[in-house]
Structure formats: structure tokens, C-alpha cells
């Protein structure tokens, strides 16, 4: 059970997986956190929370928040939303926006969860980015901006991750099939 030769799947559970732990999906923009999270939650019969959806439901579309409040204002709203989702007593699967892990408070809260880094590359996500359209963090040259953000954020994702799954070339069911043994290992 391994990923690509360049980036094998990794698992270091540190005792956090168990019946009371949230499973939190982190990773690059357009890595598939929401679609994987929704399917993973359905398979495990857990509640699914997408923090980007929550932000949009309670505060309006993310591009509009960026336009009105800037990135710092958005990150404040995002951090409060993530904290609220992580405070839920009933365990679930939570998908975070790509930059949510930049907040130090969020990083601290993630220590009580099982954190799964869905690793990928630009070649995999570029078609998704182009299809999805308006992503404020990718304004200008989306491919170049994605690579800049990926380079800056990769060390944060890697440091927070209990489990890393290389999703390149995998379908959603295949990602979940690869992840499930790691999650069951700590249960």
C-alpha cells in the first residue's frame, strides 16, 4: 500500500485516531478534500462538514468576502468557522479550505483530530481549477499562483498530517480505499 515512488503514502497516528476523533482533510486547493470527505463520511456513517461551505452559508460567497475584507478578514472568518466545526462533540469528517491551516489557532486545534493530507500536484488539479473558476488566491496566473502557494504550504501540511495520501491518478473511491486501513489501524 504505497503512493507514487516520489511521495509514498505515510501514516503516523500518534494515538489520535479513535472513536472520539474528528477526521480532518487538509491539502492544496482543488485537491479533492470536499468530494473525498463527503464520500468518506458516507462510508463511515459520520457527519460531513465542509468549512468553505459553512463560510459561504453564513458570510456570503468567498470571493465577495475577499473583495470586501481582504485575505486577513477572510482568514479570521475561516478560523472561527473551523474552530466551531472542530468543537462539535459528535465526531465527523471535516474538509478544510487550503489555507485554513495557516492559522496558528487552527494548528493547535488540529492536534486533537486525525489529520489527513491529500497530496497532489499541479497537473492533477489544473483542470479542476480551470473548471471551478473564481478562486481569489489564484488571481492572475492560476497555475503559477497554485505552485507558489503549494511550495509555501507543503511544509505546513506535512507537519500537521497524521496520514498522507498521494491522490495523483486515483479516483475518489481509490483514495478512500487507500486511507481506510490507516484509519482502522488506530481505531
Return per-residue pLDDT of the chain as tens, 187 residues. Answer: 344 445 566 655 554 444 458 999 999 888 899 999 999 999 999 999 999 999 999 998 887 888 898 888 888 999 999 999 999 999 999 999 999 999 999 999 999 999 999 999 988 887 777 776 666 666 667 788 888 888 999 999 999 999 999 999 899 999 999 999 999 875 5
In the chain, domain spans: 10-178
Distances 32 to 3, 39, 98, 171 between C-alpha atoms, Å = 16, 11, 10, 10
User: For position 143, what pLDDT does the model report?
Assistant: 81
Q: Has domain 10-178 been given CATH number 2.40.50.100?
A: no
Q: Cβ neighbours of residue 177 under 8 Å, at least 6 residues apart? A: none
Provide DSSP, 131-182: HH---GGG-S-HHHHHHHHHHHHHHHHHHH-SEEEE-TT--HHHHHHHHHHH
Amino acid at each position: 500500500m504505497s503512493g507514487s515512488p516520489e511521495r509514498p503514502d505515510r501514516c503516523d497516528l500518534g494515538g489520535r485516531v479513535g472513536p472520539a476523533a474528528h477526521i480532518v482533510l487538509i491539502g492544496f486547493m482543488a485537491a479533492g478534500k470536499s468530494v473525498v470527505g463527503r464520500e468518506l463520511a458516507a462510508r463511515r456513517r459520520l457527519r460531513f462538514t465542509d468549512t468553505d461551505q459553512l463560510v459561504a452559508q453564513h458570510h456570503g460567497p468567498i470571493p465577495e468576502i475577499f473583495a470586501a475584507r481582504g485575505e486577513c478578514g477572510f482568514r479570521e472568518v475561516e478560523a472561527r468557522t473551523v474552530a466551531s466545526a472542530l468543537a462539535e462533540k459528535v465526531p465527523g469528517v471535516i474538509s478544510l479550505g487550503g489555507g485554513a491551516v495557516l492559522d496558528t489557532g487552527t494548528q493547535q486545534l488540529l492536534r486533537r483530530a486525525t489529520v489527513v493530507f491529500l497530496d497532489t500536484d499541479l497537473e492533477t488539479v489544473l483542470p479542476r481549477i480551470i473548471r471551478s473558476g473564481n478562486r481569489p488566491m489564484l488571481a492572475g496566473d492560476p497555475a503559477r499562483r497554485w505552485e507558489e502557494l503549494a511550495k509555501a504550504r507543503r511544509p505546513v501540511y506535512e507537519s500537521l498530517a497524521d496520514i498522507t495520501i498521494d491522490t495523483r491518478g486515483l479516483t475518489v473511491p481509490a483514495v478512500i480505499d487507500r486511507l481506510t486501513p490507516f484509519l482502522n489501524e488506530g481505531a
